Amino acid sequence: MAVKTITLLGSTGSIGVNTLRVIADHPDRFRVVALVAGSNGQQLIEQARRFRPEVVAIHQETQAEQVRSALAGSGCLVLSGTTGVMEAAAWATAQLVVSAIVGAAGLQPTLAAIRAGKHIALANKECLVMAGPLFMAEVTRQGVGVIPVDSEHSAIFQVLCNGRCGAEQGGVLALHGQDVGQLVLTASGGPFRGWSRAALQRVTPAMALSHPSWQMGKKISIDSATLMNKGLEVIEAFYLFGVGGEQIQVVIHPESIVHSMVAYRDGSVLAQLGVPDMRTPIAVALAWPERITTTVPTLNLAQLGELRFFDKPEERDFPCLELAYRALRQGGAATTVLNAANEVAVAAFLAEKIGFLDIPCLVEWCLDQHQRETSGPAGMGSLEDILQTDRATRRQAEAWLLRH
Ligand SMILES: NC(=O)c1ccc[n+]([C@@H]2O[C@H](COP(=O)([O-])OP(=O)(O)OC[C@H]3O[C@@H](n4cnc5c(N)ncnc54)[C@H](OP(=O)(O)O)[C@@H]3O)[C@@H](O)[C@H]2O)c1
Protein backbone atom coordinates (compact mmCIF):
# COMPACT_ATOMS: atom_id res chain seq x y z
CA MET A 1 0.00 0.00 0.00
CA ALA A 2 1.42 3.40 -1.01
CA VAL A 3 1.90 5.90 1.81
CA LYS A 4 -0.06 9.16 1.39
CA THR A 5 1.92 12.27 2.32
CA ILE A 6 0.04 14.93 4.25
CA THR A 7 0.41 18.63 5.05
CA LEU A 8 -1.72 19.81 7.96
CA LEU A 9 -2.67 23.49 8.09
CA GLY A 10 -3.93 24.36 11.58
CA SER A 11 -2.31 21.36 13.30
CA THR A 12 -2.75 22.80 16.82
CA GLY A 13 -6.52 23.34 16.52
CA SER A 14 -9.44 21.03 17.17
CA ILE A 15 -9.53 19.61 13.61
CA GLY A 16 -5.72 19.52 13.50
CA VAL A 17 -5.42 17.46 16.68
CA ASN A 18 -8.18 15.06 15.59
CA THR A 19 -6.47 14.66 12.20
CA LEU A 20 -3.23 13.69 13.94
CA ARG A 21 -5.15 11.17 16.07
CA VAL A 22 -6.44 9.48 12.90
CA ILE A 23 -2.99 9.59 11.27
CA ALA A 24 -1.33 8.15 14.41
CA ASP A 25 -3.55 5.07 14.12
CA HIS A 26 -2.35 4.44 10.53
CA PRO A 27 1.43 4.92 10.34
CA ASP A 28 1.57 2.52 7.39
CA ARG A 29 -0.85 4.66 5.33
CA PHE A 30 -0.04 8.29 6.12
CA ARG A 31 3.14 10.33 6.60
CA VAL A 32 3.03 13.92 7.83
CA VAL A 33 5.44 16.06 5.80
CA ALA A 34 4.43 19.55 6.96
CA LEU A 35 2.69 21.05 9.99
CA VAL A 36 1.42 24.64 10.18
CA ALA A 37 0.24 26.45 13.32
CA GLY A 38 -0.72 29.99 14.26
CA SER A 39 0.71 30.83 17.69
CA ASN A 40 0.98 27.69 19.81
CA GLY A 41 4.72 27.05 19.54
CA GLN A 42 4.87 24.52 22.38
CA GLN A 43 2.18 22.27 20.91
CA LEU A 44 3.77 22.51 17.47
CA ILE A 45 7.12 21.41 18.94
CA GLU A 46 5.50 18.37 20.58
CA GLN A 47 3.70 17.45 17.35
CA ALA A 48 6.94 17.81 15.34
CA ARG A 49 8.81 15.56 17.77
CA ARG A 50 6.14 12.90 17.48
CA PHE A 51 5.33 13.02 13.73
CA ARG A 52 8.79 14.06 12.39
CA PRO A 53 7.68 16.25 9.45
CA GLU A 54 10.13 17.69 6.93
CA VAL A 55 8.98 21.23 7.74
CA VAL A 56 6.92 23.15 10.28
CA ALA A 57 5.67 26.73 10.00
CA ILE A 58 4.40 29.02 12.72
CA HIS A 59 2.58 32.20 11.80
CA GLN A 60 3.44 34.22 14.89
CA GLU A 61 7.04 35.38 14.53
CA THR A 62 7.49 35.79 18.31
CA GLN A 63 7.09 32.01 18.72
CA ALA A 64 9.51 31.08 15.94
CA GLU A 65 12.75 31.26 17.95
CA GLN A 66 11.42 28.87 20.60
CA VAL A 67 10.37 26.38 17.88
CA ARG A 68 13.70 26.74 16.04
CA SER A 69 15.83 26.09 19.11
CA ALA A 70 13.64 23.17 20.27
CA LEU A 71 13.85 21.47 16.87
CA ALA A 72 17.51 22.30 16.15
CA GLY A 73 19.38 19.21 14.97
CA SER A 74 16.16 17.24 14.33
CA GLY A 75 16.37 17.71 10.55
CA CYS A 76 13.04 19.56 10.54
CA LEU A 77 13.07 22.93 8.77
CA VAL A 78 11.32 25.69 10.76
CA LEU A 79 9.59 28.50 8.83
CA SER A 80 7.66 31.45 10.20
CA GLY A 81 5.38 34.35 9.39
CA THR A 82 3.00 34.65 6.46
CA THR A 83 5.62 33.65 3.88
CA GLY A 84 6.65 30.63 5.95
CA VAL A 85 3.03 29.46 6.19
CA MET A 86 2.58 29.88 2.42
CA GLU A 87 5.80 27.97 1.69
CA ALA A 88 4.82 25.07 3.94
CA ALA A 89 1.27 25.01 2.45
CA ALA A 90 2.75 24.39 -1.01
CA TRP A 91 5.40 21.92 0.26
CA ALA A 92 6.54 19.81 -2.68
CA THR A 93 6.39 16.33 -1.16
CA ALA A 94 2.78 16.55 0.06
CA GLN A 95 -0.01 14.85 -1.88
CA LEU A 96 -2.94 15.96 0.29
CA VAL A 97 -3.30 19.20 2.26
CA VAL A 98 -5.71 19.31 5.18
CA SER A 99 -7.03 22.88 5.34
CA ALA A 100 -7.94 23.48 9.00
CA ILE A 101 -6.78 26.99 9.81
CA VAL A 102 -9.71 28.95 11.26
CA GLY A 103 -11.26 31.89 9.42
CA ALA A 104 -10.04 34.13 6.63
CA ALA A 105 -6.41 33.34 7.53
CA GLY A 106 -6.94 29.96 5.85
CA LEU A 107 -7.70 31.32 2.38
CA GLN A 108 -4.29 32.16 0.99
CA PRO A 109 -2.45 29.08 2.31
CA THR A 110 -5.21 26.86 0.89
CA LEU A 111 -5.01 28.63 -2.48
CA ALA A 112 -1.22 28.20 -2.40
CA ALA A 113 -1.72 24.45 -1.89
CA ILE A 114 -4.23 24.24 -4.76
CA ARG A 115 -1.90 26.18 -7.06
CA ALA A 116 0.87 23.72 -6.17
CA GLY A 117 -1.44 20.93 -7.42
CA LYS A 118 -2.30 19.41 -4.04
CA HIS A 119 -5.57 17.63 -3.30
CA ILE A 120 -7.44 19.35 -0.48
CA ALA A 121 -9.26 17.96 2.57
CA LEU A 122 -11.31 21.05 3.33
CA ALA A 123 -12.35 21.95 6.89
CA ASN A 124 -11.95 25.73 6.51
CA LYS A 125 -15.39 26.67 5.19
CA GLU A 126 -14.58 30.38 5.47
CA CYS A 127 -12.37 30.23 2.36
CA LEU A 128 -15.40 29.21 0.26
CA VAL A 129 -17.64 31.81 1.90
CA MET A 130 -15.02 34.49 1.28
CA ALA A 131 -13.94 33.51 -2.19
CA GLY A 132 -16.08 30.63 -3.52
CA PRO A 133 -15.98 31.38 -7.28
CA LEU A 134 -12.25 32.09 -7.30
CA PHE A 135 -11.51 29.05 -5.12
CA MET A 136 -13.53 26.65 -7.28
CA ALA A 137 -12.10 28.13 -10.51
CA GLU A 138 -8.59 27.45 -9.18
CA VAL A 139 -9.59 23.89 -8.23
CA THR A 140 -10.88 23.32 -11.78
CA ARG A 141 -7.79 24.88 -13.37
CA GLN A 142 -5.44 22.69 -11.34
CA GLY A 143 -7.60 19.56 -11.61
CA VAL A 144 -7.26 18.79 -7.91
CA GLY A 145 -9.82 17.00 -5.73
CA VAL A 146 -11.61 18.71 -2.83
CA ILE A 147 -12.92 16.35 -0.18
CA PRO A 148 -15.02 18.08 2.47
CA VAL A 149 -14.21 17.56 6.15
CA ASP A 150 -17.23 19.43 7.53
CA SER A 151 -19.44 16.57 8.71
CA GLU A 152 -22.53 17.76 6.79
CA HIS A 153 -20.66 18.16 3.50
CA SER A 154 -18.80 14.93 4.05
CA ALA A 155 -22.21 13.25 4.43
CA ILE A 156 -23.49 14.75 1.18
CA PHE A 157 -20.20 13.94 -0.56
CA GLN A 158 -20.42 10.31 0.57
CA VAL A 159 -24.01 10.03 -0.64
CA LEU A 160 -23.31 11.69 -4.00
CA CYS A 161 -20.10 9.75 -4.50
CA ASN A 162 -21.89 6.47 -4.18
CA GLY A 163 -20.32 5.37 -7.43
CA ARG A 164 -21.06 8.61 -9.22
CA CYS A 165 -18.74 11.56 -8.70
CA GLY A 166 -15.16 12.06 -9.71
CA ALA A 167 -13.22 13.47 -6.76
CA GLU A 168 -11.70 10.06 -6.18
CA GLN A 169 -10.05 10.25 -9.58
CA GLY A 170 -8.50 13.58 -8.61
CA GLY A 171 -11.25 15.46 -10.44
CA VAL A 172 -13.36 18.29 -9.17
CA LEU A 173 -16.19 17.54 -6.83
CA ALA A 174 -19.39 17.98 -8.80
CA LEU A 175 -23.02 17.13 -8.45
CA HIS A 176 -24.12 15.02 -11.37
CA GLY A 177 -27.35 15.33 -13.27
CA GLN A 178 -30.71 16.87 -12.63
CA ASP A 179 -31.97 14.21 -10.27
CA VAL A 180 -31.06 15.95 -6.98
CA GLY A 181 -33.97 17.96 -5.64
CA GLN A 182 -32.61 19.17 -2.29
CA LEU A 183 -29.55 18.98 -0.12
CA VAL A 184 -30.73 18.80 3.48
CA LEU A 185 -28.18 20.05 6.01
CA THR A 186 -28.83 18.96 9.56
CA ALA A 187 -28.11 21.31 12.48
CA SER A 188 -28.01 20.41 16.15
CA GLY A 189 -29.60 23.78 16.91
CA GLY A 190 -26.69 24.67 19.20
CA PRO A 191 -26.86 25.15 22.96
CA PHE A 192 -29.74 27.67 22.82
CA ARG A 193 -32.33 25.80 20.80
CA GLY A 194 -35.79 26.94 21.87
CA TRP A 195 -34.52 29.90 23.93
CA SER A 196 -36.53 33.14 23.94
CA ARG A 197 -35.06 36.41 22.72
CA ALA A 198 -35.00 37.71 26.28
CA ALA A 199 -32.95 34.70 27.40
CA LEU A 200 -30.62 35.02 24.39
CA GLN A 201 -29.89 38.61 25.43
CA ARG A 202 -28.13 37.26 28.54
CA VAL A 203 -25.93 34.66 26.81
CA THR A 204 -22.24 34.92 27.83
CA PRO A 205 -19.21 33.61 25.89
CA ALA A 206 -18.79 30.76 28.40
CA MET A 207 -22.39 29.64 27.83
CA ALA A 208 -22.02 29.87 24.05
CA LEU A 209 -18.77 27.90 24.06
CA SER A 210 -20.34 24.76 25.49
CA HIS A 211 -21.83 22.90 22.54
CA PRO A 212 -24.18 19.95 23.26
CA SER A 213 -22.78 17.53 20.63
CA TRP A 214 -19.37 18.67 19.33
CA GLN A 215 -16.01 19.70 20.87
CA MET A 216 -14.71 22.45 18.61
CA GLY A 217 -12.58 25.61 18.42
CA LYS A 218 -13.93 28.85 19.86
CA LYS A 219 -14.96 30.59 16.63
CA ILE A 220 -16.99 27.69 15.23
CA SER A 221 -18.57 27.11 18.67
CA ILE A 222 -19.92 30.67 18.70
CA ASP A 223 -20.97 30.32 15.04
CA SER A 224 -22.87 27.15 16.01
CA ALA A 225 -24.64 28.97 18.85
CA THR A 226 -25.81 31.83 16.57
CA LEU A 227 -26.55 29.37 13.69
CA MET A 228 -24.14 31.39 11.52
CA ASN A 229 -22.18 28.15 11.21
CA LYS A 230 -25.17 26.62 9.41
CA GLY A 231 -25.38 29.72 7.23
CA LEU A 232 -21.69 29.41 6.33
CA GLU A 233 -22.35 25.74 5.55
CA VAL A 234 -25.23 26.63 3.20
CA ILE A 235 -22.79 28.85 1.27
CA GLU A 236 -20.12 26.13 1.41
CA ALA A 237 -22.61 23.62 -0.07
CA PHE A 238 -23.63 26.13 -2.74
CA TYR A 239 -20.06 26.39 -4.04
CA LEU A 240 -18.96 22.79 -3.44
CA PHE A 241 -21.93 21.06 -5.01
CA GLY A 242 -23.09 23.66 -7.53
CA VAL A 243 -26.76 23.73 -6.51
CA GLY A 244 -29.03 26.77 -6.19
CA GLY A 245 -29.40 28.35 -2.75
CA GLU A 246 -33.11 27.45 -2.76
CA GLN A 247 -32.16 23.77 -3.09
CA ILE A 248 -30.29 23.81 0.22
CA GLN A 249 -32.53 23.20 3.21
CA VAL A 250 -31.70 23.22 6.92
CA VAL A 251 -33.43 20.96 9.42
CA ILE A 252 -32.82 20.90 13.16
CA HIS A 253 -31.73 17.49 14.45
CA PRO A 254 -30.63 17.72 18.10
CA GLU A 255 -28.97 14.26 18.28
CA SER A 256 -26.45 15.10 15.49
CA ILE A 257 -26.56 11.50 14.25
CA VAL A 258 -27.86 12.09 10.70
CA HIS A 259 -25.08 14.30 9.35
CA SER A 260 -27.01 15.42 6.25
CA MET A 261 -29.17 14.08 3.43
CA VAL A 262 -29.72 14.23 -0.30
CA ALA A 263 -33.33 14.28 -1.48
CA TYR A 264 -33.60 12.94 -5.05
CA ARG A 265 -36.42 13.89 -7.38
CA ASP A 266 -37.70 10.31 -7.45
CA GLY A 267 -38.70 10.59 -3.77
CA SER A 268 -35.63 8.83 -2.30
CA VAL A 269 -33.82 10.56 0.55
CA LEU A 270 -30.33 9.19 1.26
CA ALA A 271 -28.57 10.03 4.50
CA GLN A 272 -25.22 9.37 6.18
CA LEU A 273 -25.31 8.54 9.89
CA GLY A 274 -22.73 8.15 12.62
CA VAL A 275 -21.75 9.06 16.15
CA PRO A 276 -20.87 12.80 16.23
CA ASP A 277 -17.08 12.62 16.15
CA MET A 278 -14.99 14.58 13.63
CA ARG A 279 -12.55 11.69 13.29
CA THR A 280 -15.05 9.98 10.96
CA PRO A 281 -15.25 12.72 8.28
CA ILE A 282 -11.52 13.34 8.73
CA ALA A 283 -10.80 9.64 8.10
CA VAL A 284 -13.06 9.71 5.03
CA ALA A 285 -11.20 12.72 3.63
CA LEU A 286 -7.73 11.33 4.38
CA ALA A 287 -8.28 7.87 2.95
CA TRP A 288 -10.74 8.56 0.11
CA PRO A 289 -11.59 6.60 -2.04
CA GLU A 290 -10.69 3.90 0.47
CA ARG A 291 -12.11 3.53 3.97
CA ILE A 292 -10.02 3.06 7.10
CA THR A 293 -10.70 1.96 10.65
CA THR A 294 -11.16 4.53 13.40
CA THR A 295 -11.76 4.12 17.12
CA VAL A 296 -15.02 6.08 16.85
CA PRO A 297 -17.73 3.92 18.48
CA THR A 298 -20.19 2.28 16.10
CA LEU A 299 -23.64 3.83 16.11
CA ASN A 300 -26.16 1.88 18.14
CA LEU A 301 -29.57 3.08 17.01
CA ALA A 302 -31.55 0.81 19.35
CA GLN A 303 -29.68 2.24 22.34
CA LEU A 304 -30.31 5.76 21.06
CA GLY A 305 -34.06 5.13 20.80
CA GLU A 306 -35.17 8.14 18.80
CA LEU A 307 -33.98 10.68 16.28
CA ARG A 308 -35.85 14.02 16.23
CA PHE A 309 -36.19 16.60 13.46
CA PHE A 310 -37.63 20.12 13.64
CA ASP A 311 -38.04 23.12 11.38
CA LYS A 312 -35.28 25.70 11.59
CA PRO A 313 -35.97 28.30 14.32
CA GLU A 314 -37.67 31.66 13.88
CA GLU A 315 -35.57 34.21 12.04
CA ARG A 316 -36.21 36.86 14.72
CA ASP A 317 -34.43 34.68 17.34
CA PHE A 318 -31.58 33.35 15.16
CA PRO A 319 -31.18 35.82 12.25
CA CYS A 320 -27.68 34.67 11.21
CA LEU A 321 -28.90 31.75 9.10
CA GLU A 322 -31.21 34.00 7.07
CA LEU A 323 -28.40 36.58 6.74
CA ALA A 324 -26.29 33.92 5.03
CA TYR A 325 -29.11 33.11 2.56
CA ARG A 326 -29.51 36.84 1.97
CA ALA A 327 -25.77 37.22 1.22
CA LEU A 328 -26.04 34.39 -1.34
CA ARG A 329 -29.01 36.10 -3.00
CA GLN A 330 -27.31 39.50 -2.85
CA GLY A 331 -24.43 38.00 -4.84
CA GLY A 332 -21.20 39.75 -5.78
CA ALA A 333 -18.93 40.06 -2.77
CA ALA A 334 -21.75 39.90 -0.19
CA THR A 335 -20.59 36.55 1.23
CA THR A 336 -17.07 38.01 1.61
CA VAL A 337 -18.68 40.84 3.62
CA LEU A 338 -20.75 38.37 5.66
CA ASN A 339 -17.64 36.41 6.61
CA ALA A 340 -15.50 39.40 7.56
CA ALA A 341 -18.28 41.07 9.58
CA ASN A 342 -19.00 37.82 11.38
CA GLU A 343 -15.33 37.27 12.29
CA VAL A 344 -15.11 40.76 13.80
CA ALA A 345 -18.43 40.30 15.62
CA VAL A 346 -17.47 36.89 17.07
CA ALA A 347 -14.09 38.22 18.28
CA ALA A 348 -15.85 41.20 19.91
CA PHE A 349 -18.39 38.91 21.59
CA LEU A 350 -15.61 36.62 22.90
CA ALA A 351 -13.85 39.73 24.27
CA GLU A 352 -17.15 40.68 25.97
CA LYS A 353 -17.37 43.95 24.03
CA ILE A 354 -20.81 43.17 22.58
CA GLY A 355 -23.73 40.93 23.46
CA PHE A 356 -24.82 37.71 21.75
CA LEU A 357 -27.65 39.39 19.83
CA ASP A 358 -25.33 42.16 18.62
CA ILE A 359 -23.55 39.61 16.38
CA PRO A 360 -26.36 39.47 13.76
CA CYS A 361 -26.95 43.25 14.12
CA LEU A 362 -23.36 43.99 13.14
CA VAL A 363 -23.39 41.49 10.26
CA GLU A 364 -26.67 42.86 8.92
CA TRP A 365 -25.41 46.43 9.14
CA CYS A 366 -22.29 45.52 7.12
CA LEU A 367 -24.40 43.75 4.46
CA ASP A 368 -26.68 46.84 4.23
CA GLN A 369 -23.64 49.12 3.87
CA HIS A 370 -22.21 46.91 1.15
CA GLN A 371 -25.54 46.85 -0.70
CA ARG A 372 -25.72 50.66 -0.59
CA GLU A 373 -22.13 51.04 -1.78
CA THR A 374 -22.26 48.61 -4.70
CA SER A 375 -24.38 48.86 -7.81
CA GLY A 376 -25.25 45.17 -8.09
CA PRO A 377 -23.89 41.64 -8.02
CA ALA A 378 -20.89 42.10 -10.31
CA GLY A 379 -19.01 39.05 -9.00
CA MET A 380 -16.28 38.91 -6.38
CA GLY A 381 -13.41 39.87 -8.65
CA SER A 382 -9.76 38.94 -8.23
CA LEU A 383 -8.06 37.77 -5.06
CA GLU A 384 -6.87 41.32 -4.46
CA ASP A 385 -10.48 42.59 -4.81
CA ILE A 386 -11.65 39.98 -2.30
CA LEU A 387 -8.92 40.84 0.20
CA GLN A 388 -9.76 44.53 -0.27
CA THR A 389 -13.47 43.85 0.48
CA ASP A 390 -12.46 41.79 3.51
CA ARG A 391 -10.23 44.60 4.87
CA ALA A 392 -12.81 47.34 4.16
CA THR A 393 -15.56 45.36 5.92
CA ARG A 394 -13.37 44.78 8.97
CA ARG A 395 -12.66 48.53 9.16
CA GLN A 396 -16.40 49.33 8.92
CA ALA A 397 -17.24 46.70 11.52
CA GLU A 398 -14.57 48.05 13.92
CA ALA A 399 -16.04 51.55 13.45
CA TRP A 400 -19.53 50.14 14.26
CA LEU A 401 -18.10 48.60 17.44
CA LEU A 402 -16.68 51.97 18.54
CA ARG A 403 -20.13 53.53 18.18
CA HIS A 404 -21.92 50.80 20.21
N1 LIG B 1 -13.78 21.88 15.11
C2 LIG B 1 -14.66 21.25 14.38
O3 LIG B 1 -15.28 20.28 14.84
C4 LIG B 1 -14.94 21.69 12.96
C5 LIG B 1 -15.93 21.01 12.23
C6 LIG B 1 -16.14 21.40 10.90
C7 LIG B 1 -15.41 22.42 10.34
N8 LIG B 1 -14.48 23.08 11.10
C9 LIG B 1 -13.74 24.18 10.48
O10 LIG B 1 -12.35 23.89 10.57
C11 LIG B 1 -11.60 25.10 10.76
C12 LIG B 1 -10.78 24.96 12.03
O13 LIG B 1 -11.67 24.85 13.13
P14 LIG B 1 -11.15 24.44 14.58
O15 LIG B 1 -12.36 24.24 15.40
O16 LIG B 1 -10.14 23.33 14.46
O17 LIG B 1 -10.43 25.80 15.02
P18 LIG B 1 -9.37 26.02 16.20
O19 LIG B 1 -9.44 24.92 17.19
O20 LIG B 1 -9.57 27.41 16.68
O21 LIG B 1 -7.96 25.89 15.45
C22 LIG B 1 -7.57 26.83 14.50
C23 LIG B 1 -6.20 26.49 13.95
O24 LIG B 1 -5.80 27.53 13.05
C25 LIG B 1 -4.48 27.97 13.42
N26 LIG B 1 -4.31 29.35 12.96
C27 LIG B 1 -5.03 30.43 13.30
N28 LIG B 1 -4.59 31.52 12.64
C29 LIG B 1 -3.55 31.10 11.85
C30 LIG B 1 -2.70 31.74 10.94
N31 LIG B 1 -2.79 33.06 10.68
N32 LIG B 1 -1.75 31.00 10.30
C33 LIG B 1 -1.63 29.68 10.56
N34 LIG B 1 -2.43 29.01 11.42
C35 LIG B 1 -3.39 29.72 12.07
C36 LIG B 1 -4.46 27.81 14.92
O37 LIG B 1 -3.14 27.83 15.42
P38 LIG B 1 -2.79 28.18 16.98
O39 LIG B 1 -3.78 27.42 17.81
O40 LIG B 1 -1.39 27.65 17.09
O41 LIG B 1 -2.89 29.65 17.14
C42 LIG B 1 -5.11 26.43 15.03
O43 LIG B 1 -4.19 25.43 14.70
C44 LIG B 1 -12.63 26.24 10.82
O45 LIG B 1 -12.73 26.83 9.57
C46 LIG B 1 -13.94 25.53 11.18
O47 LIG B 1 -15.07 26.19 10.67
C48 LIG B 1 -14.23 22.73 12.38
Which tens digit of pLDDT belongs to each residue from 115-135? 999 999 999 999 999 999 999
Q: What is the pLDDT of residue 313?
A: 85
Q: What is the pLDDT of residue 169?
A: 43
Instruction: Name the pLDDT band for 170 (thresholds 50, 70, 90).
Output: very low
β-strands 30-37, 55-58 pairing = parallel
Instruction: Name the pLDDT band for 171 (thresholds 50, 70, 90).
Output: very low
Per domain, the residue ranges of the chain are 4-144, 315-404
What is the residue type of 309? F
Verify whether ligand 1 is closer than 6 Å to residue 211 (CB atom): no
Q: Is the pLDDT of residue 167 over 80?
A: no
Verify whether ligand 1 is closer than 6 Å to residue 86 (CB atom): no
List, in sequence order, every beta strand (DSSP E) within 269-351: 269-273, 310-311
Q: What is the pLDDT of residue 164?
A: 60
> pLDDT of 210-219, one tens digit each?
877 777 999 9
Alpha carbon of 105 to ligand 1 centroid (Å)? 9
Verify whether ligand 1 is closer than 6 Å to residue 42 (CB atom): no
Q: What are phi and psi of 268, to 5 degrees?
A: -80, 140
Instruction: Name the pLDDT band for 177 (thresholds 50, 70, 90).
Output: low
Q: Is the pLDDT of residue 382 over 90?
A: yes
Q: What is the pLDDT of residue 317?
A: 85
Please list the helix, strand and coil fractions of the chain in percent, rounded to the nearest 5, in that order.
Answer: 50, 15, 35
Question: pLDDT over 70 for what percent of the chain?
Answer: 96
Verify whether ligand 1 is closer than 6 Å to residue 220 (CB atom): yes
Instruction: Name the pLDDT band for 204 (thresholds 50, 70, 90).
Output: very high
Q: Is the pLDDT of residue 165 over 90?
A: no
* pTM (predicted TM-score): 0.96
Give domain 4-144's CATH number out of 3.40.50.2300, 3.40.50.720, 3.40.50.360, 1.10.12.10: 3.40.50.720
Q: What is the pLDDT of residue 377?
A: 63
Nearest CA to ligand 1 atom 36: 38
Verify whether ligand 1 is closer than 6 Å to residue 104 (CB atom): no
Q: What is the pLDDT of residue 212?
A: 75
Q: Is the Cβ–Cβ distance between 226 and 364 less than 8 Å?
A: no
**Which class in CATH covers the domain with range 315-404?**
mainly alpha
Q: Is the pLDDT of residue 103 over 60?
A: yes
User: How long, in residues, is the chain?
Assistant: 404
Cis preceding linkage at 289, omega within 30: yes
314's CB contacts (< 8 A; 6+ apart) are none
Q: Is the pLDDT of residue 290 over 80?
A: yes
Which atom of ligand 1 is least distant from the CA of 229?
47
- Pocket perturbation via mutation, ligand 1, pick of 154, 220, 342 by most ligand atoms within 8 A of CB: 220
